[in-house]
């Protein structure tokens, strides 16, 4: 069956696209490749380019990876223009790359492999998140940003207070900034709480997630809104990979480098989980035990234990959401 796929490798400022066509004979051909700017003008040029090069109007699917937030504008643009669009989770694409034993990694090569994935594999079409989740996500992201700026301003004020002969005007200005951030954060929190309260099914789900020791309301809402209610994910590996909390190994032959988390996923989820994970290392007995075992092996890098706690909190939230259950402290689970 004739089929066409457009593989898209998206970055912050531009994206590289590859149009690949499979003919009735089963043979595939790269029809065209090109890079475009990540802007409304670039998106329009991209759609025209695809139409020009898909002359025989083969059934067409646009494929991209769910990396960070850079794919979103293009995905919304394509969906708005009635194009079949698939957003593939990073771990799926990573495993596909490995299966092909690809050594070279450039934007151009990546777009070609993503296009081939669209030709060979069955993909689920992407749907925009619900308006409620999108609004919640935008509010939560602003909240995270404000909290970060507040902490930075407090640190700066601390330094100003102990600096020699610092101008009183600077101190007043910094105090004014802190006051602004604190008021803004309170306003955002009230708005978020009201939105969740007005969505009864969502509120019930959130109430179950916060039964996890160490997990607060704010973090639970961020996890739900950043994942569209975990709708994209079928298993634990996928949500862990999407969050950038999967382990990246650095090995080649006899060389064994340090393993670390990939950080290639959603940074907002990692930011939201950090403080709750610290709390869970003392408030959540299974996570506390996990943390203690890890830092015994890594006494100089306690952060490894905190990351493990972050990952476990995420897994617990995902599991309770999918099962629609509350946390059972007597449940025995593998560390």
In the chain, where are the structural domains located? Answer: 3-120, 131-198, 210-335
Q: Residue 255 pLDDT > 90, yes or no?
A: no
Residue bearing the bigger pLDDT, 162 or 152: 152
Q: Which pLDDT belongs to residue 248?
A: 57
Q: Which pLDDT belongs to residue 253?
A: 42
Instruction: Give domain 3-120's CATH superfamily.
Output: Ribonuclease H-like superfamily/Ribonuclease H (3.30.420.10)
pLDDT tens for each residue of 17-66: 999 999 888 888 999 999 999 999 999 999 999 999 998 888 899 999 88
Cβ count within 10 A of residue 55: 9
pLDDT band at 100 (very low <50, low <70, confident <90, very high): confident
pLDDT band at 163 (very low <50, low <70, confident <90, very high): confident
- Mean pLDDT within 298-302: 80
**CB-neighbour burial class of residue 288 (10 A; exposed 0-12, middle 13-18, buried 19+):** middle
Contacting residues for 298 by C-beta, under 8 A, at least 6 apart: 304, 305
Task: Tell me which residue of 300, 302, 293, 279 sits closest to 334, measured CA to CA.
Answer: 293
What is the share, in percent, of the chain residues with pLDDT greater than 90?
Answer: 64
| Terminal CA-CA length for the chain | 47
**CB contact at 8 A, 123 and 88:** yes
- Mean pLDDT within 275-288: 93
How high does pLDDT run on average in the chain? 89
Q: Where do we find the tokens 């999967």? A: 246
């Amino acid at each position: 069956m004739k089929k066409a796929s457009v593989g898209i490798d998206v970055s912050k400022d531009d994206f590289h696209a590859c149009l690949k066509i499979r003919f009735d004979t089963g043979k595939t051909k790269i029809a065209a490749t090109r890079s475009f700017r990540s802007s409304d003008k670039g998106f329009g040029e991209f759609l025209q380019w695809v139409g020009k090069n898909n002359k025989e109007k083969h059934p067409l699917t646009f494929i991209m990876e769910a990396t960070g937030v850079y794919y979103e504008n293009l995905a919304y643009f394509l969906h708005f223009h009635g194009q079949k669009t698939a957003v593939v989770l990073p771990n799926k694409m990573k495993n596909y790359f490995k299966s092909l034993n690809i050594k070279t990694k450039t934007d151009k090569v990546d777009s070609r492999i993503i296009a081939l994935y669209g030709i060979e594999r069955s993909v689920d079409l992407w749907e925009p998140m619900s308006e409620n989740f999108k609004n919640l996500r935008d509010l939560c992201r602003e909240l995270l940003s404000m909290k970060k700026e507040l902490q930075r301003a407090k640190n700066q004020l601390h330094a100003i207070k102990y600096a020699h002969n610092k101008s009183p005007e600077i101190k007043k200005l910094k105090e004014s900034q802190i006051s602004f951030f604190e008021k803004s954060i309170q306003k955002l929190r009230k708005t978020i709480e009201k939105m969740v309260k007005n969505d009864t099914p969502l509120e019930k789900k959130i109430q179950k997630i916060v039964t996890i020791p160490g997990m607060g309301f704010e973090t639970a809402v961020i996890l739900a809104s950043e994942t569209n209610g975990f709708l994209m994910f079928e298993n634990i590996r996928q949500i862990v990979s999407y969050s950038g909390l999967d382990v990246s190994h650095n090995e080649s032959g006899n060389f064994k480098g340090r393993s670390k988390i990939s950080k290639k996923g959603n940074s907002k989820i990692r930011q939201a989980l950090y403080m709750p994970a610290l709390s869970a290392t003392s408030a959540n007995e299974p996570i506390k035990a996990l943390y203690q075992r890890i830092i015994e092996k890594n006494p100089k890098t306690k952060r490894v234990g905190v990351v493990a706690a972050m990952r476990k909190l995420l897994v617990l939230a995902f599991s309770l959401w999918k099962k629609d259950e509350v946390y059972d402290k007597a449940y025995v689970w593998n560390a």
